Structure 1
Amino acid sequence: MKRTKQSDQAKHLYSRATFGVHYSEFEKLSDMSVRKAVRRLFEQAEADDPLTEVTELLQRPPREDNPTEEEIKDYLRRRNEQERSVNIAWMRRLAETKAPLLEKMTLFWHGHFACRMNDGYYLQQLNNVQRKNALGNFRTLLLEVAKAPAMLSFLNNQQNKKGHPNENFARELMELFTLGRGHYTENDIKQSARAFTGWQYKGKTGEFFYNVRQHDTDTKTFFEKTGNFSGEDIIDMILAKKQTAYFISEKIYKFFVNDSPDPGHVKELADVFYKSGYEVKPLVEKMFTSEWFYDQKNVGNKIKSPVELLTGLNRQFSIRYENPAVLLQLQRSMGQALFYPPNVAGWPGGQNWIDSSSLLTRMKLPSLLLNGGVIDTGGKADPEDEAFIAAAKRQQLKVERRVKTQPGWDIFLKDIPSDVKLSELAYFLIAGDPERHSLNSIGTGSIRSMVLQLLSTPEYQLC
């Protein structure tokens, strides 16, 4: 594969905007201009099929019926089954989707509007709201999220009633979803909470409804303006502040570009976002077509999230799992389980993905999934790696019992030239410039052997 400026740009674009590409696809992309490649991603993203794994609401046994211990156990079993099902369904979608940019943006909004709830149907519904609006209008997305049963329940707006306002949703709306800290007052929170009173959902159907009897119709003062404001009014007043456009743009920049934002670049994005009326697509298009997106300082510098790491391997090698529930175990062991954010702020990301516990799992993941838990030691091992390799060998039998996979090596290898060089494989698999990294510890041999060794390097943890 001939390395060119276009191939460098295509490689970086697809490592950030998607979860990686197959070798044959990468060769085609290497001849495309950035604008054509970005346009291709948006065209693919027009397919927004919702998840449909969980088909019915989870009904809790009525308290007044004094449910038996068996009925309670059955409810908990069905609840846990639903939560596993929606997690596995999305992981499968991430691995197989033909609209990778759409799913990557859905993953971003999943962390931005972090939510936990013991009902897989409502979690799936919220996920579909985020997918449907992932590249659409932010105001529409924000309103639909605010009215989703999962968020109404998680942030206690279901209990937000006239005379007894609950401030949880109003606070997080401004602190985490739109403005960021320091751009509102405590009184703004109190007043806006009153505007959202009566926003509820029907427990038996999950349908949103505006409970007029529970809504506070008295005058409210918000952002130094006074009126009988509704929840929609509050959202519009928040969006009128350009700080909201800047806050969202900065967060998207951190997710796709660099953990350390460039204020000038973020302002460029915020200007486009604000002037478009909060359309997400123009913002993302501006980001991916800007020259600074491809600057060396922004290439190969981000640590893959656990879901990105796992999805990249699943897509690249068409991995099938004998017991798909192990996907949830792998996510938890690395610190990011879909639909299980640590709190309302979501996952902190960046260097927080790496600690002494998760690093071992991350480093052995490729071998775990592609080689039966065996780390290929055909190459030279650095001294500091020897203990890791020895520990992994001791765990081999235990690992094989827990994780049984069927990797599609044939699918992966059919497009790779039989005479491919180690440097070419490194260029394809490792983010950034492989010449910046030492390949001395990688032994030449079969393609499969070289691939496994490259995937087990620290550099593969980056995108």
Structure 2
Amino acid sequence: MTVPSLINNKHLLWRAGFGAGINQFEDLNNKDIKALLNDLFREETFLYINYDTPDVEIIDYMNDKSPAEKKKEIQRINREQNLELNLNFLDKMVNSKEQMKEKMAFFWHGHFASRVVNPRFNRQILNVIRKNALGNFRDLLFEVSQAPAMLNFLNNQQNKKDHPNENFAREVMELFTMGRGNYTEKDIREGARAFTGWGFDKEGNFRERKNLHDEGTKNFLGKTGNFTGSDVLNIILEEKTTAKFITTKIYKFFVNENVDENIVNKLSDNFYQSGYDIKKLMTEIFSSSWFYDKKNIGNRIKSPIELMAGMMRTLPMNIQNPENLIVYQKLLGQMLLYPPNVAGWPNGKSWIDSSTLMLRLQIPQIWSGLRPLEYTPRQDDDIDMGMKSRETALNKTFKNPNITIDWARVEKVFKDKKVEDYLIQSSKSLDMNSVKNFSDNSVKMNVINLMSTPEYQLM
């Protein structure tokens, strides 16, 4: 019988982070929840995610090349820099001691979804999200709304007086703050007028271009005035529906997709009263006894990034070709920096179809060198990275990931433990006899086989 504290500790580490790291299993069953929470909420000196690939300074660099060659070279460098950002973000999730901050950043990365080619813009919005991940939602909203990546993605660079573009104003209300049904089409039109002139220069600095701003009176959410974009964001934040919308989305992501209205109402009131203090909200969630109710444990399907990061935290590995981790992100349908649209990634059962489930179950064997990768991207894959056929995917893009796992360390950690108690969140349906039938009873094969079960897909 698994001791309750072990179940609760695993639950907390998966929801408030990316699962237990190899060094955490040793005393996981007797660790105090408060001590674990302190570890998870630890904050260190903020380090920006960057890329080392040199920026292209086209004028000095390529005078001898044709326009087509220059364009191709710029595309190549942009692609390399974005892939480096992607892998550096994943590395933070796996290795950072600030697990809650990186998990929260991962949540906001899907909430404030943007998808642009420019790696400088991607780097900037990613770091804005990480820096403010556990800070104040007001600061986060303002900084994201003024980030070139978002203004570019939602066409606000083209939002000018006499020709307002409503895209940005609509998504700010529908997806980022209030949710559908809490504003009218007129509010969108008036909000768009307030955001006229918000843009950026070619260096990626936010600019309020006064000559493009509509100075007229606006009627927005029942208030009247000569509003600017900042006024509109402040008016949105005054609405209690904003706190409710954000809290509900956080509850669905971190607790349960089936919302308990009473709990969410209380959380959202406290969130609003605190002036949108994210850390306070998350502390309240993870410190509450209801968070550890049986119905909230092992009920969420891990997203591809959570699945990969969790395995990388459990298995100490040396990856010779980390760029091939991108291949798995593509094949499983979640590539960092490339959300499918402005609504971000869907969650839950949408992660699982026949092709992705098979690959998910086989990754432990592939990464352990026990079987080759033989997969093509999902049919709906719109991340056009030259992986449209298996031949291209395997011969061109994919090389052996060359992963070396330190099995001796894994053996040592799990030597006197029931491995399933530590790796599986909800083992009700787990048939350990069939797991062991596929195994030679070594810790290594036990771990690989447990990670290859449908139960390991849940957290």
Report which stretch shifted further, 190-199 or 365-374: 365-374
Q: Could you tell me which amino acid in structure 2 is paired with residue 427 of structure 1?
A: D
After superposition, the Cα gap between the structure-2 partners of 1:458 and 1:219, relative to the gap in structure 1 and judged at 3 Å, is: same
Shift of 1:280: 0.2
After superposition, the Cα gap between the structure-2 partners of 1:58 and 1:105, relative to the gap in structure 1 and judged at 3 Å, is: farther
Structure 2 distance, partners of 1:151, 1:234, is: 17
| Residues 18-417 of structure 1: pairs in structure 2 closer than 5 A | 18-22=17-21, 24-42=23-41, 44-53=42-51, 68-203=67-202, 205-373=203-371, 402-417=400-415
After superposition, the Cα gap between the structure-2 partners of 1:230 and 1:400, relative to the gap in structure 1 and judged at 3 Å, is: closer
What SS does the aligned partner of 2:207 have?
Answer: strand
Report which stretch shifted further, 27-36 or 449-458: 27-36
Partner of 1:391: none
Shift of 1:54: 5.2
Shift of 1:436: 4.5
Partner of 2:435: 442
Structure 2 distance, partners of 1:260, 1:429, is: 25
Q: Is the 8 A contact 1:11 1:26 kept in 2?
A: no
Q: Is the 8 A contact 1:29 1:37 kept in 2?
A: no
Structure 2 distance, partners of 1:317, 1:194, is: 52
Q: Could you tell me which amino acid in structure 2 is paired with residue 40 of structure 1?
A: D
After superposition, the Cα gap between the structure-2 partners of 1:170 and 1:397, relative to the gap in structure 1 and judged at 3 Å, is: closer
Structure 1 distance, partners of 2:299, 2:430, is: 13
Shift of 1:60: 7.4
Show CA shifts across 1:181-234 (max 9, x none): 00000000000111111111111x211121111111111010121100111111
After superposition, the Cα gap between the structure-2 partners of 1:320 and 1:372, relative to the gap in structure 1 and judged at 3 Å, is: farther
Structure 2 distance, partners of 1:230, 1:173, is: 14
What SS does the aligned partner of 1:221 have?
Answer: strand
After superposition, the Cα gap between the structure-2 partners of 1:199 and 1:146, relative to the gap in structure 1 and judged at 3 Å, is: same
Q: Is the 8 A contact 2:22 2:313 kept in 1?
A: no
Match of 2:425 among 412, 431, 448: 431
Shift of 1:52: 1.8
Report which stretch shifted further, 285-294 or 47-56: 47-56
Q: Is the 8 A contact 2:53 2:80 kept in 1?
A: no
Structure 2 distance, partners of 1:452, 1:100, is: 24
Show CA shifts across 1:354-406 (max 9, x none): 0112111111011111234279xxxxxxxxxxxxxxxxxxxx99999543212
Shift of 1:341: 0.5
Q: Is the 8 A contact 1:369 1:403 kept in 2?
A: yes
Shift of 1:41: 1.4
Partner of 1:462: 458
Structure 2 distance, partners of 1:435, 1:189, is: 49
Structure 1 distance, partners of 2:266, 2:54, is: 44
Q: Could you tell me which amino acid in structure 2 is paired with residue 425 of structure 1?
A: V
Structure 2 distance, partners of 1:399, 1:452, is: 26
Structure 2 distance, partners of 1:373, 1:48, is: 40
Structure 1 portions without partners, runs of 5+? 376-395
Q: Could you tell me which amino acid in structure 1 is paired with residue 358 of structure 2?
A: L
Shift of 1:11: 1.3
Show CA shifts across 1:330-371 (max 9, x none): 001001000000000011111000011211111101111123
Q: Could you tell me which amino acid in structure 2 is paired with residue 345 of structure 1?
A: A
Q: CA RMSD in A?
A: 2.4
Show CA shifts across 1:422-456 (max 9, x none): xx110100013x35522121116111111111111
Q: Could you tell me which amino acid in structure 1 is paired with residue 296 of structure 2?
A: N
Q: Is the 8 A contact 1:373 1:400 kept in 2?
A: no
Structure 2 distance, partners of 1:407, 1:429, is: 17
How does the TM-score come out when normalised to structure 1?
Answer: 0.88
What SS does the aligned partner of 2:25 have?
Answer: helix
Structure 1 distance, partners of 2:129, 2:242, is: 18
Q: Is the 8 A contact 1:115 1:151 kept in 2?
A: yes
After superposition, the Cα gap between the structure-2 partners of 1:219 and 1:54, relative to the gap in structure 1 and judged at 3 Å, is: farther
Structure 1 distance, partners of 2:398, 2:242, is: 49
How does the TM-score come out when normalised to structure 2?
Answer: 0.89
Q: Could you tell me which amino acid in structure 1 is paired with residue 160 of structure 2?
A: K
After superposition, the Cα gap between the structure-2 partners of 1:348 and 1:60, relative to the gap in structure 1 and judged at 3 Å, is: farther
Shift of 1:408: 2.4
After superposition, the Cα gap between the structure-2 partners of 1:397 and 1:141, relative to the gap in structure 1 and judged at 3 Å, is: closer
Structure 2 distance, partners of 1:244, 1:369, is: 43
Q: Could you tell me which amino acid in structure 1 is paired with residue 361 of structure 2?
A: M
Q: Is the 8 A contact 2:219 2:225 kept in 1?
A: yes
Structure 2 distance, partners of 1:185, 1:302, is: 34
After superposition, the Cα gap between the structure-2 partners of 1:301 and 1:239, relative to the gap in structure 1 and judged at 3 Å, is: same
Shift of 1:324: 1.7
